[in-house]
Chain A
Amino acid sequence: MKHLFKFSIYSFALALLVTSCSDDDDFTPSEPLGDYENGYFILHEGGGLITPVTYVDEDGTVEQNVFENVNPTADPIGAFKQDLFFDDTRAFIVSGGGQTVTVLNRYTFEFIATVTTDLINPRYGAVYNNKAYVTNSGDFGTSTDDFVTIIDLTDYSTTTIVIGKIAERIEAANGKLYIANGSFGSGNSVTVLDPSNLGSMTTIDLGMGNSPNSLEADDGFLYVLSGNSTSNGKVFKINLSDDAIDSSIDLPATLTSPRHLDIDGNTIYFTNSTSVYSFATGSTAVSDVPVMTYVSTSQFGSMYGFSARNNVLYIADAGDFASAGTAYEYDTSGNLLNTITTDVAPNSFHFN
């Protein structure tokens, strides 16, 4: 909690309900799944009981307070919404302050359940084989107690397994779970968890000082971005068949705080400060010329969240963490496509 601002926020704000008026859907090939099936959610990490997401529809219309509008009688979700992840039909919101995982219908946003057991300072989640795996910091003073909560998605019962290293971002790939053991520059490995054999946990060492902060699997490989306070940042390419490091690429030394690795098609994107960089999945070198740079008035909340999808770059700017945030959509040439006002501290994008 010490790393986060302490400002609490009113739970129910003015509803900026914008009704969508699309009367041009001449052919509907399948039964609609819900009002939110064709857009994306921006998650709010702010303190207090602020609304969890801002919704942006495919036609650009924005809806605030989706959760409250759909579920007027549900209890508010706790502070510090850290992560949102999906399975085929459900969305899961991790609240670090509320110590909960809230389960919703991902297309209608209707409330389904709240998981409150076996969670101590939960962080990120991923789904594999009808189970959700949620990393937990446990006691902030130590990383040896960091653990994963395993939620059975049929009845939302929980069990835990201790990771024993920093447990942050988590990715499901090739029948396993990959957990980045990196936080604020500490930790330099990836833990591999095999759901069919939880006892056989293995570790991929990234080398001294290479602290992983984001990861994504693509086409048989896991790509892990690491920062290093005394050396170059790196992108590791890990072969999912044997969990060995296939290769690694040094990032330009001028990029001192690379973050937010995200893969779109065959392009790997990442950010540094207010700039976005990219390279092709097969390439062996990374240019220090950015794809684009955006202008932020934020002293310290710039590029708080980032995603690349279908050649659109999504950037979240958290401002001063104590006021409304902003999200931007840019094309890959750096042209601004859309600007969205969000609630406090937007930290990530989640696409339906």
Chain B
Amino acid sequence: MKHIFILFFLISPFVVVSQTLDSIQNLDEVVLRADRLLKTFSKTQTTQVLSDSIIKRNTSSLTQLLNFNSPVYFKENGLGMVSSPSFRGTTAQQTAVIWNGININSQFNGQTDFSTINTRNFDEITIRHGGGSVLYGSGAIGGSIHLSDKVDFNMPFENNLFAGFGSFNTQDLSYGTRYADDKFSVGFTVTYTHSDNDYDYLDSDRKNLNGQFYNVGLSTTLGYKIDQKNILRYYNHVFDGERHFSLILPTEIRTKYRDFNTRQLLEWEGRYGKFLSVLRAAYLTESYKYFGNIENDNFTFAEAETFIGNYQLSYKWADNAKAMAVADINYTNGEGSSIVEASRTISAFSVLLNQRIKSFYYEATVRKEVTNTYESPLLFSLGVKQQFGDFYTVNVNGSKNFRIPTYNDLYWANAGNPNLSPETSHQIELGNQFNFKNGLFSLTGFYYDIENMIRWVPNTSGVWRPINTDNVVSYGLESRLQYSRQFKGHQLQLNANYAYTISENQFDNKQLIYVPYHKGSGSFNYAYNKLSVYWQTAYVGEVFIQSDNDPNRVVAPFWVHNLGLEYKPLDQCTLGFRIQNLFNKNYQSVANRYMPGINYNIYLTFNF
């Protein structure tokens, strides 16, 4: 019933507004994002935008997209299964996923399963490296992944269709439409992904059993210009998915997992002279059901709803200078099979400041949260950037960030620990960027000192409970190369990322398990006339799977390649063919979790 209500709420305004289509006015395009801080207070850190064209050339899984296009490492329990990121050697709970400026990491386990994000639902995906807890709250330590929708005005009526089909009976479909005049804007996207995911294991007579999955996503954006100064925007995203969890051995119990998440955001933006006022209200729901044995209907579940009120007031106090104050209130109510209903309210206050003085730029931010659930530290960041001509830019950013205890940590029946403190991270990074004629090269060094890491350990009675225990130091280098060239109708693009990461538990100075020293990715694109060919690659170095770093207990490094070909018979239409795991490499991301060998995809995009 609740689902139907939400769907109705989602679709009805679209239906009404879409009937008011009228003539297209060709005025200046105004593109605005709900995630303003990504543009205004992230200039002393690295951000990397993955455009629509990159997103299209990858499968709809956020894991796959980032694996081939970023230095983020993924621990993936087989294709399409639970997938946890490690960004700069941190844990999955220390990577925040931000939807239109709002942190959507789960209230229950504190992380986002990257297999439950369908990339085709969003206009733009941005990787923000480094700490961001002042801006984005809990979990923005290693970095954050930003899913953004556009609300444009004065846009022609536009439809786009994507249809992909691949090995293992995989369907990957999306349809989006948008229209905007000078007063109204509306956009709607629906996605559907399904796969039997029953690939054969290489060098074995076995296949991936019980790995099938599907998901449906809907997103809606609405915009209304009340007058020249005031704009209302509404964003909605609904995700409904079911995954079976694949087996290591055929005798294991078959299980499955259902996710149903909704996100809604309404914002009112007012521009009054030097002031910019943004009032936002958001309502998020998340729920899962875990079927511990698909032979029967028994399941365990948890569900939470979150209300967020947020007010940002910024003031342009000089040319190229901005001050901002943010007040935020976040109320969550959740319960589950093992969690007695509990609610918590977190209020936060932030002050942010930035200024550009010729070639020098600085930004300083501070945030304090107030809650009765735990002791919240003062969070801050300070960043500076200096440009030396067009060629070289250097930036330094230091910050204190945190990851708050989750519902599971606090409230799990007979195990939750109400006395937990947040995990905190002090971190600093130094970035260098070299711009040359057709590209750029950047090199960033980072150092993290993360304390009070929450970990579940058995107590003297054998009951596993969470405590604040570990101290981890993580440091390393990230580098990135971008190059593009055009000559006589030929187009060339090259992108490469490489990260070297040491992440050590200070208890015994051992590298954390499932954190590779080396992670690289790259892509190359060549286009001429109506044809283009592209190559994608990812390299993941050896990872330890035992905390004693036993060199015999590792997942071997792997280097996989994809090759794609695209043909554009018409300007509006692209036909693509992609070969994944080109060299049919037998590899695993997690021990005993085999990934598919060579497999194929065809896809069609059509804009009209």
Q: B53: CB under 8 A from chain A?
A: no
Checking B458, B513, B547, B552 against A13 with a beta-carbon cut-off of 8 angstroms, the contacting residue is B552
Complex Cα spacing A344 to B545, Å? 11
CB neighbours of B554 from chain A (8 A): 10
- B251–A100 touching, CB < 8 Å: yes
Stretch at the interface among A55-63, A75-83, A330-338: A75-83
- A7–B251 touching, CB < 8 Å: no
Quick one: CB contact mask for A41-69 with B, threshold 8 Å, 1 for yes? 00000001100000000000000000000
Quick one: CB contact mask for B574-606 with A, threshold 8 Å, 1 for yes? 000000000000000011110000000000000
- B459–A300 touching, CB < 8 Å: yes
- Given A8-B591, A99-B251, A141-B298, CB of A14 within 8 Å of CB of B552: yes
Whole-angstrom distance between the Cβ of A301 and the nearest chain B Cβ: 7
CB neighbours of A229 from chain B (8 A): 461
Q: B457: CB under 8 A from chain A?
A: yes
Q: A11: CB under 8 A from chain B?
A: yes
Q: How large is the interface on A (under 10, 10 to 19, 20 to 34, 35 or more residues)?
A: 35 or more
Stretch at the interface among B124-132, B258-266, B462-470, B530-538: B462-470
- B592–A49 touching, CB < 8 Å: yes
Q: B292: CB under 8 A from chain A?
A: yes
CB neighbours of A256 from chain B (8 A): 460
Complex Cα spacing A116 to B253, Å? 11
Instruction: Identify the interface centre among A2, A185, A344: most chain B CB within 10 Å of its CB.
Output: A2
Complex Cα spacing A344 to B553, Å? 11
Q: A97: CB under 8 A from chain B?
A: yes
Complex Cα spacing A139 to B593, Å? 25
Checking B251, B460, B555 against A78 with a beta-carbon cut-off of 8 angstroms, the contacting residue is B251
CB neighbours of B593 from chain A (8 A): 8
Whole-angstrom distance between the Cβ of B110 and the nearest chain A Cβ: 15
Checking A7, A11, A184 against B513 with a beta-carbon cut-off of 8 angstroms, the contacting residue is A7
CB neighbours of A324 from chain B (8 A): 546, 548, 550
Complex Cα spacing A319 to B507, Å? 13
CB neighbours of A139 from chain B (8 A): 292-293, 296, 298
- B248–A49 touching, CB < 8 Å: yes
Complex Cα spacing A301 to B458, Å? 7
- B591–A78 touching, CB < 8 Å: no
Complex Cα spacing A114 to B251, Å? 10
Checking A184, A273, A299 against B463 with a beta-carbon cut-off of 8 angstroms, the contacting residue is A184
- B463–A185 touching, CB < 8 Å: yes
Whole-angstrom distance between the Cβ of B407 and the nearest chain A Cβ: 14
Q: A320: CB under 8 A from chain B?
A: yes
Q: B486: CB under 8 A from chain A?
A: no
Quick one: CB contact mask for A9-23 with B, threshold 8 Å, 1 for yes? 111011000000000
CB neighbours of A300 from chain B (8 A): 457-459
Q: A121: CB under 8 A from chain B?
A: yes
- A78–B249 touching, CB < 8 Å: yes
Q: B337: CB under 8 A from chain A?
A: yes
Q: B390: CB under 8 A from chain A?
A: no
- Given A10-B553, A75-B249, A99-B252, CB of A141 within 8 Å of CB of B292: yes
Complex Cα spacing A140 to B338, Å? 12
- A322–B463 touching, CB < 8 Å: no
Checking B249, B461, B548, B592 against A323 with a beta-carbon cut-off of 8 angstroms, the contacting residue is B548
CB neighbours of B296 from chain A (8 A): 139
Quick one: CB contact mask for A69-113 with B, threshold 8 Å, 1 for yes? 000000110110000000000000000011110000000000000
Q: A227: CB under 8 A from chain B?
A: yes
Q: B419: CB under 8 A from chain A?
A: no
CB neighbours of A48 from chain B (8 A): 248, 545, 591-592
- A299–B469 touching, CB < 8 Å: yes
Complex Cα spacing A142 to B338, Å? 12
Whole-angstrom distance between the Cβ of A94 and the nearest chain B Cβ: 12
Q: B300: CB under 8 A from chain A?
A: yes
- B252–A78 touching, CB < 8 Å: yes
Checking B248, B292, B458, B553 against A79 with a beta-carbon cut-off of 8 angstroms, the contacting residue is B248
CB neighbours of A14 from chain B (8 A): 552
CB contact list, A273-330 vs B, under 8 A: 273, 299-301, 319-320, 322-324
- A98–B251 touching, CB < 8 Å: yes
- Given A75-B249, A120-B293, CB of A320 within 8 Å of CB of B545: no
Whole-angstrom distance between the Cβ of B454 and the nearest chain A Cβ: 14
Instruction: Identify the interface centre among A13, A229, A300: most chain B CB within 10 Å of its CB.
Output: A300
Quick one: CB contact mask for B323-344 with A, threshold 8 Å, 1 for yes? 0000000000000010000000
- B253–A344 touching, CB < 8 Å: no
- B252–A299 touching, CB < 8 Å: no
CB neighbours of A116 from chain B (8 A): 251
- B546–A9 touching, CB < 8 Å: yes
Complex Cα spacing A99 to B248, Å? 12
CB contact list, A171-197 vs B, under 8 A: 184-185
Whole-angstrom distance between the Cβ of A254 and the nearest chain B Cβ: 12
CB neighbours of A344 from chain B (8 A): 546
Complex Cα spacing A98 to B407, Å? 30
CB-CB nearest in chain B for A139: B298
Complex Cα spacing A114 to B252, Å? 13
- A10–B251 touching, CB < 8 Å: no
Complex Cα spacing A185 to B222, Å? 54
Instruction: Identify the interface centre among B251, B337, B459, B461: most chain A CB within 10 Å of its CB.
Output: B251
Checking B252, B457, B591 against A97 with a beta-carbon cut-off of 8 angstroms, the contacting residue is B252
CB-CB nearest in chain B for A75: B249
Checking A7, A76, A257 against B249 with a beta-carbon cut-off of 8 angstroms, the contacting residue is A76
Whole-angstrom distance between the Cβ of B465 and the nearest chain A Cβ: 9
CB neighbours of A97 from chain B (8 A): 248-249, 252
Complex Cα spacing A98 to B459, Å? 26
CB neighbours of B547 from chain A (8 A): 320, 322-323
CB neighbours of B252 from chain A (8 A): 78, 97-99
- A8–B460 touching, CB < 8 Å: no
Complex Cα spacing A57 to B138, Å? 53
- Could you jot down 30 A-B contacts, CB within 8 Å? A2-B464, A3-B462, A3-B464, A8-B591, A9-B546, A9-B553, A10-B553, A10-B554, A10-B591, A13-B550, A13-B552, A48-B545, A48-B591, A49-B249, A78-B249, A114-B251, A116-B251, A120-B253, A139-B293, A139-B298, A141-B292, A141-B300, A141-B337, A229-B461, A273-B460, A299-B469, A300-B459, A322-B513, A323-B547, A323-B550
Give me 10 other A-B pairs in contact (C-beta within 8 A), A257-B460, A257-B461 excluded.
A8-B590, A10-B555, A11-B592, A13-B550, A99-B252, A139-B298, A184-B461, A299-B469, A322-B513, A344-B546
The 4 closest A-B pairs by CB, nearest first: A323-B548, A300-B457, A322-B547, A8-B591
